[in-house]
Amino acid sequence: MRDPQSSAPYLDAIAAYGSRGSGRMHVPGHKGGPGADPGLRAAIGERALLMDVPQGLYGVDLGVDITPQLRAEALAAEAYGAQQSWFLTNGATQGNHALTLALAPPGSTVVVQRNSHASVVDGLVLSGGLPSFVAPAYDDALGIAHTVVPEHLDAVLQATPAARVVFVVSPTYFGVSADVPALAQVAHARGCALVVDQSWGPHFGFHPDVPESALRQGADAVLTSTHKMAGSLTQSAILHVADGSRLDVSAIDRAVRIVRSTSPSSLLLASLDGARRQLAVHGEALLERTMRGRAGLIEAIEASEGLVLLGPQLRGAEGVHDVDPLKVVLDVRGTGATGYAYGQALGAWHDVHPELATDTTVLLVLGPAERPDDLAMVGIALQRTATRIAADVAAGEVDADTPRIAEPLRAPTSETVIPPRDAFLGPAEAIPLSEAVGRISAESIAGYPPGIPALLPGERITPAVVEHFRSLLEAGARLHGAQDPSLETITVVKG
């Protein structure tokens, strides 16, 4: 019998509608192409416009026993090993909003990894939940945060007996995954559900050389940002509740609905259906090809003076349980340049663009279906850039003395005195940073890297926080979330 995973019911349903010349007396107004700007039509192609259809079409969403979207979501649940899965068209951001709304009701306490994605604290602004933070392990030399260590989580849970849910991130942006089985054990022993933001690991569990998915390691709910590391279109993601979890699936279902558009993009939904099929049916073989290409890339990196591949030597460090081979993290300090300068040179000289550059590193993201030849080309670009930039640094043409970013403030540092919701939605005013000590923040501000928020809505502003902002500004770090990026002013709760 044909494996049901090799079908893509939603993709097939809208492709069929798009190709049969139906009378399109419905939105969108481009009517499958004729009403679209010719430039757009030429750029994205008529097929994409033909498949851009609304919800509620007869034969797609109406007049069928089980809609193709529900069948597609059930196939995703089966492929990932979930009890139930939801397709999201506003990214993993939508998933975090839905999870906080469903699991962190007004006045409830939840334990949250301090450097969780902004959408978790934004979700608490929506829901009215109160966070108690657990810090991730931190690499001082590289300025990179890793994952939450089970013993730290246990200590925070012991001090927060009212908490019933824990939100952690695994893997990190840099591909480091947490000891999810141990985190789940700790959370469950303290009567809490474990939510894992696995946005960076939609491919986890689909090849023996990539880490296992948190869904199969005891997590209760898991978010996968399918567009990041798998084959779906930007802004699409999947939220899963694990088999055997006692989370209230209907509460999550309701929450997913209130944070979604009434007109979700059929293209995004179809791309999720296709990405799931590709991972389920061909994932292992495609990832195998990526691994082959990666081996060549690593050889080129190892032969490059000044470049060090991080990953192997991270193993064993606190907060590093496993490492995703699809994240290639280079320590570029040996070239004499910062990661920013190296990343810019790579783009300018070879048209190769990294995912991220930091003070000390450059991060390259591999996909599940890389062609070895393409990665060989990237390897050559990395090598040549390293040689040329080292020569330029030696000749004084690149400023090797760019100030390094001050040591990031360790979180949690500030006391949460009112719920993020009250701080964010209540009356607020912008005041000079120099007058902010003692006031309650109405905004979130994180220096990048490492992206650990130094201040969140509802927290009291301390002298150490103000000092930290000053050193970040001096070092030229990027500040995420600040309403006034120069930080001459800061938005605080009024009164």
Ligand X SMILES: Cc1ncc(COP(=O)(O)O)c(C=O)c1O
237 binds ligand X (CB under 6 A): yes
CB nearer ligand X, residue 117 or residue 294:
117
CB nearer ligand X, residue 68 or residue 123:
123
CB nearer ligand X, residue 198 or residue 290:
198
In three-state secondary structure terms, 384 is helix
In three-state secondary structure terms, 324 is coil
Pick the stretch among 15-23, 88-96, 319-327, 463-471 that binds ligand X (CB under 6 A).
88-96
Q: What mask, x for binding ligand X by CB under 6 A, covers residues 110 to 129?
A: -------x-x----------
- Whole-angstrom distance, CA of residue 399 vs CA of residue 320: 33
Find the shortest distance in angstroms from Cβ 90 to ligand X: 7
414 binds ligand X (CB under 6 A): no
Q: Which secondary structure element, helix H or strand E, spans residue 341, and what is its range?
A: helix 339-350
Pick the stretch among 85-93, 213-221, 295-303, 388-396 that binds ligand X (CB under 6 A).
85-93
Find the shortest distance in angstroms from Cβ 190 to ligand X: 23
Please identify the residue of the shown chain whose CB is closest to the bound ligand X: 91
- Footprint on residues 211-230 left by ligand X (CB under 6 A): 225
Instruction: Please state at what angle helix 372-394 crosses helix 339-350, rounded to 10 degrees.
Output: 120
Residue 212 has what DSSP assignment? P
Q: Which secondary structure element, helix H or strand E, spans residue 287, and what is its range?
A: helix 283-302
199 binds ligand X (CB under 6 A): yes
User: HSE-up of 98 (CA within 13 Å, CB side)?
Assistant: 34
- Whole-angstrom distance, CA of residue 176 vs CA of residue 447: 20
What residues contact 383, with CB distance under 8 A and at least 6 apart?
300, 301, 303, 304
- Footprint on residues 171-190 left by ligand X (CB under 6 A): 173
Q: Which secondary structure element, helix H or strand E, spans residue 429, and what is its range?
A: strand 428-432
Pick the stretch among 6-14, 89-97, 329-337, 434-442 that binds ligand X (CB under 6 A).
89-97
Nearest to 328 by CA among 309, 351, 346: 309
93 binds ligand X (CB under 6 A): yes
92 binds ligand X (CB under 6 A): yes
- Whole-angstrom distance, CA of residue 274 vs CA of residue 176: 27
Find the shortest distance in angstroms from Cβ 173 to ligand X: 6
Pick the stretch among 87-95, 259-267, 393-401, 452-460 that binds ligand X (CB under 6 A).
87-95
197 binds ligand X (CB under 6 A): yes
Find the shortest distance in angstroms from Cβ 197 to ligand X: 5
C-beta neighbour count of 257 within 10 angstroms: 11
Tokens of 235: 């802004």
Nearest to 389 by CA among 357, 448, 348, 353: 348
Judged by the rule CB under 6 A, the positions of this chain that interact with ligand X are 91-93, 117, 119, 169, 173, 197, 199, 225, 237
